Structure 1
Amino acid sequence: MTVVVARRERRGTEGAPLIDPFGRSISYVRVSVTDRCDLRCTYCMLERQTFLPRSELLTIEELDRLCAAFVGLGTRRLRLTGGEPLVRKGFMDLVRGLSRHLRSGALDELTLTTNGTQLAEHAEALAQAGVRRINVSLDTLDADRFRRITRGGDLTKVLNGLEAARSAGLKVKINTVALKGDNAGELVDMVRWAHGAGMDMTLIETMPLGEIEQDRTEQYLSLAEVRADFERLWTLTPMAKRTGGPARYVRIEETGGTLGLITPMSHTFCEACNRVRVTCTGELFLCLGQDDKADLRDVLRGHVGDDAAVEDAIRAAIALKPKGHDFRIDRPGAAPAVARPMSMTGG
């Protein structure tokens, strides 16, 4: 459903943290800057994906203003996503603008998730703007498999981007979606490669978001099974580490590296959810797996210069955040849990 937000009485709310109905403090916001991407990953979107008209997207100035409103309400971590954020015109201007919150101490971290194809060109500028770590989505180290999964992508461009990021001093974490029919037999080697290069890695279960050509029950690989396989090979020591996201971490003693596991299907993580997502059109989604949302674009454009109205709209929406998602993937041929693709919601 769409959440209708209205201006509310603000007495006593200034400076108060964002707390949802279940007592969870919302301190982490993921903001999509575009739904466009230069890859077409089979588990993410249709081969002939229809993208939004550019006129519907928030401008760079509106994105900056909205992020600033969240920072003013206690957000400590901002993650910029897409689609592929580095294909958005003006993206680096947004990053440089938002870095003022890092310098002031109002923001702990400004980061992004990227597919790495444009990273070689922008890594140094990201580091200069105060970005300290990034997530790079990469599902295989086999060039032919990469080309097939991404429908034409060039693995060499991503590997060059990773090298540029490390050379610029950025800490890199590899995000890999576990896919039964594609990379299941490669996951051990990918972990060894990532840890050998000084990069952490997180494995993610595929999620029922948006229409794709394939049946997701054929792609789904439970990370409980993957972990059991890993434990026959390595010693996995649970860690208390948290980075503001849904991953649970273990240390692999034999590699010396950290492995994150994001398990929305086999084990939910909603009880500690501290985040919300904003789409490139200004829709605030309170849960990745629900359709509850608030339209912040209308508030931004209807109250130019009135940031209090934007803050009120955010608070009103957070007050309706649901307890958790309803992801299921055990019914062959079933419709996705939510119709919007991940590229629209933001990673």
Structure 2
Amino acid sequence: MNELIDAHGRKVTYLRVSVTDRCNLSCRYCRVKDMTFIPHENILRFEEMEQIIDLMAEMGVRKLRFTGGEPFARKGFTSFLRRVRARHPELGLRITSNGTLLGPDIEELKELDAMMNISLDTLNRERFAAITGKDLLPEVLANLRRMAELGMKLKVNAVAMRGENDTELPALAFLAMDHAIDVRFIEFMPMGEDSIWSNDLFWPADEILASAREHWELIPCDESNRNLEERGPAKLWKLKDREGRLSAGRFGLITSVSHTFCHACNRLRLTADGQIRTCLYDDREWPLRDVLRRDGIKAVRRVILDAVAHKPVGSDILARSSGPVAKKRMSAIGG
């Protein structure tokens, strides 16, 4: 059996791989009081990740996303990407990064045809430093400009937080006017038992959409000719300004809380310490690292099949909770 189909009939074609739980930033919505990191010996080696990716490709995975922590904080990450691309030219390659460390690798990322998602919650330098703990906004913007100039596939993701960056919507969305960039606002998710998430901070998608309409006419993008694997979970619009100018890029919303898309979830997550996680909202994990090191890749296949068979519907878990729905912090899961 090569296809990964769960008990709800959902086909898994998308693997998110966290290469590290470490990050050079300390974002307010991610850090916790007692920040500890996975010991080095428990982190999956790149060679082990390659073995698991080979297997998952055989089992029907068609899209890979590499995350962290901050993936470029791990030494050798770009060389690892080069090997993955050489082994699997057929796979869609995506990377989620905070954009601070990737400057020296931009040209190579372009050659690897990597789609970049840059996490950026504000264009205000002081607010950026307050949210992330580092004054690195100029570096992020310089790297964004360079990637846009090279014509790379580029998305900007902002975690939407009421009272934190709700006034930033016009400036961030304006990035999509002159550049072929998708600017997406992601609802703040109640993840991690020490998270700062609260109802007061939660800025729902309906209110974000209303705010955007104060500045632009929103033209829905027709994605009906693309399946979910290709288009992803975002709802997308072109922006039309008061002069009738249409945006080069798109404005998007990812409604992870208010209007979930769990019924069509097609993903698994491989954590940096080698666990398979079938749902962001479910803390149950299946150990691959120890199985791989002890019993080999054939045994890993059996664990993956068992994990997929027990993949839950995340919205059911969310509906039963009034606060954080998972104990593990986002950086330890890989998003």
1:266 aligns with 2:249: no
Equivalent in 338, 341, 345 of residue 326 of structure 2: 338
After TM superposition, list the pairs within 5 Å mapping 1:148-167 onto structure 2.
Answer: 148-167=130-149
Q: In the alignment, is the contact (CA less than 8 A) between 1:31 and 1:78 conserved in 2?
A: yes
State the 1:244 CA deviation. 5.1
- For 2:153, the equivalent position in structure 1 comes to 171
How far apart, CA to CA, are the structure 2 residues paired with 1:145 and 1:328? 33
State the 1:212 CA deviation. 4.2
TM-score normalized by the length of structure 1: 0.87
TM-score normalized by the length of structure 2: 0.90
C-alpha distance 279-339 of structure 1, shift in aligned 2 (>3 A)? same
- For 1:277, the equivalent position in structure 2 comes to 269
- For 2:125, the equivalent position in structure 1 comes to 143
- For 2:46, the equivalent position in structure 1 comes to 60
After TM superposition, list the pairs within 5 Å mapping 1:64-75 onto structure 2.
Answer: 64-75=50-61
State the 1:82 CA deviation. 0.3
- For 1:123, the equivalent position in structure 2 comes to 106
C-alpha distance 201-235 of structure 1, shift in aligned 2 (>3 A)? same
Q: In the alignment, is the contact (CA less than 8 A) between 1:57 and 1:280 conserved in 2?
A: yes
How far apart, CA to CA, are the structure 1 residues paired with 2:210 and 2:161? 16
- For 1:291, the equivalent position in structure 2 comes to 283
- For 1:3, the equivalent position in structure 2 comes to none
SS in structure 1 at match of 2:200: helix
How far apart, CA to CA, are the structure 2 residues paired with 1:239 and 1:21? 32
State the 1:48 CA deviation. 5.6
Counterpart residue type for residue 247 of structure 1:
A
- For 2:183, the equivalent position in structure 1 comes to 201
How far apart, CA to CA, are the structure 1 residues paired with 2:124 and 2:319? 30
- For 2:96, the equivalent position in structure 1 comes to 113
How far apart, CA to CA, are the structure 2 residues paired with 1:70 and 1:329? 32
CA displacement 1:27-79 (0-9 Å, x = unmatched): 01101000000001101112662111111100111111111111111111000
Equivalent in 170, 193, 204 of residue 222 of structure 1: 204
CA displacement 1:99-142 (0-9 Å, x = unmatched): 02443x3x2x11100000012111112222x2332100000000
How far apart, CA to CA, are the structure 1 residues paired with 2:307 and 2:211? 42
Gaps of 5+ in 2: none
- For 1:235, the equivalent position in structure 2 comes to 217
How far apart, CA to CA, are the structure 2 residues paired with 1:311 and 1:287? 18
How far apart, CA to CA, are the structure 1 residues paired with 2:18 and 2:176? 26
Counterpart residue type for residue 56 of structure 2:
F
SS in structure 1 at match of 2:314: coil
1:19 aligns with 2:5: yes
State the 1:327 CA deviation. 2.9
How far apart, CA to CA, are the structure 2 residues paired with 1:244 and 1:285? 22
How far apart, CA to CA, are the structure 2 residues paired with 1:268 and 1:203? 14
State the 1:344 CA deviation. 0.7
